Amino acid sequence: MEPNSQQTAELAAPVDRALVVADWSLDPAGVVAALQARYARHRSEFALLVPASLHGIAWAGDPNASRPCAERRLGELRLLSERSGVRVGMARVGDPETVPAVLEALEDWPAEQILLFGRRRRSPFPRALSLAGRIERSASIPVDWITHTAAAAPAGHRPHAALRCVPTPPAAA
């Protein structure tokens, strides 16, 4: 059966490209579910960027301390994306500073929009001073802030334990 002209036009429609910026402390299943909902509506192609950001007082220490957690989260996001049929054109761990990480990713993978996944915060700052506002000004493309919940802390740990990067010990041989 040959597709009718409406189906052909739908298949040939331009795919919009969105850069997904997801903090490594977020639940990857929720991020992918949100992408899947968008993909079903817009047939989008995504690039995944997980900045190796440090949280809390950790920023004063080793700037690469959260890199293992960002790499682990990126792997989980890629796997879940593949399983759910979400098209991923690029995936990378970025600089601990989110704005430069976004600009570097956009140099390699131009996007029409940025989807910024972050935890809900009560901020006294107007949008212009927020992370979304700073990225929007620097990249000159629209940014959608998508509030999301942090990954659950393991049982018996403090509520903010999910915000601490604990590298996975090497597997025994």
Summarize pLDDT for 62-78 with one digit per residue, the tens. 777 789 989 999 999 99
The pLDDT value given to residue 43: 81
Q: Which residues contact 108 (CB under 8 A, 6 or more apart)?
A: 90
Burial 146-155 (b: 16+ CB within 10 A, else e): bebebbeeee
What is d(CA 37, CA 115) in angstroms, rounded to the nearest whole number? 13
Beta strands in 23-86 (DSSP E): 45-51
The pLDDT value given to residue 3: 45
CATH topology of domain 14-163: Rossmann fold (3.40.50)
- Which residues share a beta bridge with 94? 51
- Please check the confidence at residue 163 and state whether its pLDDT lies above 90: no
pTM given for the model: 0.78
3-state secondary structure of 17: strand
